[in-house]
Structure 1
Amino acid sequence: MKSLLAPVFPGGIIAILIFYLDYFQFELVEKFLLYAAFVIVPLVILLLNHDEKNKHQRMIYAAMKWLQFPAALLTLASVMSNKMWGLESTEIPGILSLGWLLFTLLLGIYGLTTIVISKGKAAEIAIGAGLVYFFIGGIWFTLYQYQLNLFQANPSTHALSSLHFHFSSAIVPIFIGALGRIMKKKSWYPWVVAIDIIGPILIAIGMIFSKPIEYIGVSLFACNIVVYTAYLLAYLRKNALDIKAAFFLGLSCLAFYTVVVISIFYPLLKNMYSLTILEFIPIYGSLHAFGFVLCGLIGWVYMVDFIKEKANQSAS
C-alpha cells in the first residue's frame, strides 16, 4: 500500500543530507528555508482541497504538484551557488531563486482562488491566506539571494523574514483552517482567523520598522496558537480518530508548549548554564520546525485521509 507521505520522501532525504552533511556549508536559516522547500511545502500541498469542477483551480493544483520538487532543486542550487560555488558576487544566486519565487506565486494564486470560491467560509479563507504568505516568503528569499537592501533592512533580515513567512505566517493559518473544517461552528472562530491573518503582517512590519509593533504581533499570534492547540487537544480527547493523526497532532501541540516553557524559564537556564540566546535559537527553531510544524502537518495529512475514508464508508 502506498504511503500517504510518499511524495515527501525524496525531499525529506535531501533535507536530512543538508542538515547533517558537512559538505553543505550553509547558514542555519538557509538550511531551514531549504527544509521548508523540500518538506513543508509538499506536505501542505497534500492537505489542500480542490474543486474538480473548477478547471482553473484543478490546473493550478496539478502544476503545484509537478513543479514543487524542481522549484525546490532550483532553491538548493541558488543557495549552493551563493555559498559553495563562488558565485556570490554574481547575479546567478538571485536568478536561480526566481524559480522558487514563481512557484510560491503559484501557491499564492491558488490561495486567492481558495478565498474567492470559499463563499465567506472562515476556514478556507485562513488556508488561502496561509498560501499567500508563502508567496511573500518567496519574495523575501529572492531579495536575500540578490543581497538587496530594502526598507533599510539588510539581507540577514530578509532571510529571517522569509523564514517567518515560510513557517509561522503560512503554517499557523493553514492549521487553524484545517481545524475549522472539522470543528463545530463557534462564534469566536472568525476572530481567530482574522487575528491569524493580521498577526504575521504586524510581525513582519515590526521586524523592519518598530519593535513594539513586532511584540504586539507576536503576542497576538502566540495567543492564537494557544487557542488552536487547546481546542485541538480537547477535540482529540473527545473523538475517536485515526491513531496516527491523533499521535502526530498531539506531538505537535506538545512541541509548542515545550517552546513556551523553555521561553518562560530561559532567564533561569541562562544563569544556570551560561547559555546565550544564540545557543537557544537552534533549540527553539528545531522544536518549532520539526515538532510543531512537521508533526502538525503529518497529523493533518492523516486526519484528512481519515475523514475522507469515513465519508466514503458513510456514502456506501
Structure 2
Amino acid sequence: MKASLLPTILGGILTILIFLLDYLAFNLIEKFLMFAAFVLVPLVILLLNHDEKNKHQRILYKAIKLLYFPAALLALASVMSSKTWTPGSTAISGVLSLGWLLFTLLLCIYGLTVIVNHKGKIEEIAIGAGLVYFFIGGIWFTLYQYQFHMFQINPDKHGLSSVHFHFSSAIVPIFIGMLGRIMTKKSWYPWIVAIDIIGPILIAVGMIFSKPIEYIGVTLFACNIAIYTTYLLAYLRKNSLHNKANFFLVISCIAFYTIVVISLSYPLLKNLFSLTILDFIPIYGSLYAFGFVLCGLIGWVFLKSNVQNSGQHG
C-alpha cells in the first residue's frame, strides 16, 4: 500500500509547489488540472479491479500504472511551455499535451473493457463510464493547450470543460460505482448510475450551447451526489468499516454539504460582505477538489485495501 501511494505522494508535493510558486504563473484552471493528473488519477488507478486471467486487461492495467506519471509530467511540461518557455506559442504546448491525451485514451479503453466484462454489474459499468470520461477531459485539455477555437467559443471554456470532466464527470460515477460494490442493491441504484452517465454530457453540451441544458445537468448531478452522500453516511453509521476509510469518506460527504450550505447562503453573504461570485469560486473549488473528491478517493482506497487484506488473511 505504501509503495502504491508513493507516486501520489510525489505528485502531491509537485502539486503543492504548482499552487504556491508564482514563477509558474499557472491560472486556477491549470493548477486544478495538474492536481487531477498528479494526485487524483493515481488514486483512481488504485481502485481498479483487473482480471489476471484477462490478458488484454492485464496488459492495459500494467501500461496504465507504468505510464501515468510520465504522462502527467508531459501535461505539466505542456502548461509550463505555454506559460514560461514559449508564451504565446501553442505548437509545443499542444504537442506535449498529446501525451496526456493518449494516456487518458488508455484509461478510456480500460473503462470499456470493464463495461464489456461486467455487463450484469451496474456498479462496474459506472466505474467504466468514469474512466471513459477522463478521455473526454483529455481531449478538452489538448484543445485548451492548442487554444483551438471551436464553435466560436473562448478557449478558456475548453479548460473549464477539461476540469469538469477530470473532476465531476469522471470521479462521481467512480464514487457511485464504489458505493455499489459494498451496498445491498436498491431499485433506485440503476437510475442513479444512468443519471450519472447522462448528467456530465448535459452539462458539457450546456456549457457550449445552452445555459438551460447546463442548469438541468448540474441540478441532476447535484441531486445524484446528494443521494450518494446521504446513503453513504447512513451506511457508515450502521456498518463498521476501516477507521481511516470512515474518516475520509465522512469528511468527503461533509465537504459536499458545506458547498451546498455556502451556495444557499451566497445571496446573504454577498450582501453582508460585498462579495462577488469570483470570491467564492476558489472556496467552491477547494472544497470540491480537496474535500469531496480527494478525501473521497483516499477513503475508498483505504476501504478497498482493507477489504483485500481481510480477504488475504481470511
Does TM-score exceed 0.5, indicating one fold? yes
CA distance in 2, matches of 1:176, 1:90: 37
SS at match of 1:167: helix
**Are 1:152 and 1:208, in contact at CA under 8 Å, matched by a contact in 2?**
no
1:10 aligns with 2:47: no
**Are 2:90 and 2:145, in contact at CA under 8 Å, matched by a contact in 1?**
no
Letter in 1 for 2:168: S
1:241 aligns with 2:231: no
Instruction: Give 1:87 deviation, angstroms.
Output: 4.1
Deviating beyond 6 angstroms after TM superposition, the runs of 4 or more aligned structure 1 residues are none
Letter in 2 for 1:235: Y
2:221 maps to what in 1? 221
1:41 maps to what in 2? 41
1:308 aligns with 2:308: yes
Letter in 2 for 1:124: E
- Which deviations, in whole Å up to 9, do the C-alpha atoms of 1:71-109 show, x marking residues without a partner? 000001000110111243241010000000000000000
Letter in 2 for 1:103: F
1:209 aligns with 2:194: no
SS at match of 2:85: coil
Alignment of 1:96-175 (within 5 A): 96-175=96-175
2:185 maps to what in 1? 185
1:69 maps to what in 2? 69
- Which deviations, in whole Å up to 9, do the C-alpha atoms of 1:217-264 show, x marking residues without a partner? 000000000110011001111111110000000000000000000000
Alignment of 1:230-269 (within 5 A): 230-269=230-269
Letter in 2 for 1:134: F
Letter in 2 for 1:156: D
CA distance in 2, matches of 1:4, 1:240: 25
Structure 2 unaligned regions, length at least 5: none
Instruction: Give 1:179 deviation, angstroms.
Output: 0.4
2:56 maps to what in 1? 56
Q: What is the total number of aligned residue pairs between the two structures?
A: 314
Instruction: Give 1:154 deviation, angstroms.
Output: 1.7
TM norm structure 2: 0.98
TM norm structure 1: 0.97
Structure 1 unaligned regions, length at least 5: none
SS at match of 1:148: coil
1:194 maps to what in 2? 194
**Are 1:87 and 1:93, in contact at CA under 8 Å, matched by a contact in 2?**
no
Instruction: Give 1:6 deviation, angstroms.
Output: 2.4
- Cα 1:205–1:256, aligned 2, differ >3 Å: closer, same or farther? same
SS at match of 2:29: helix
Letter in 2 for 1:185: K
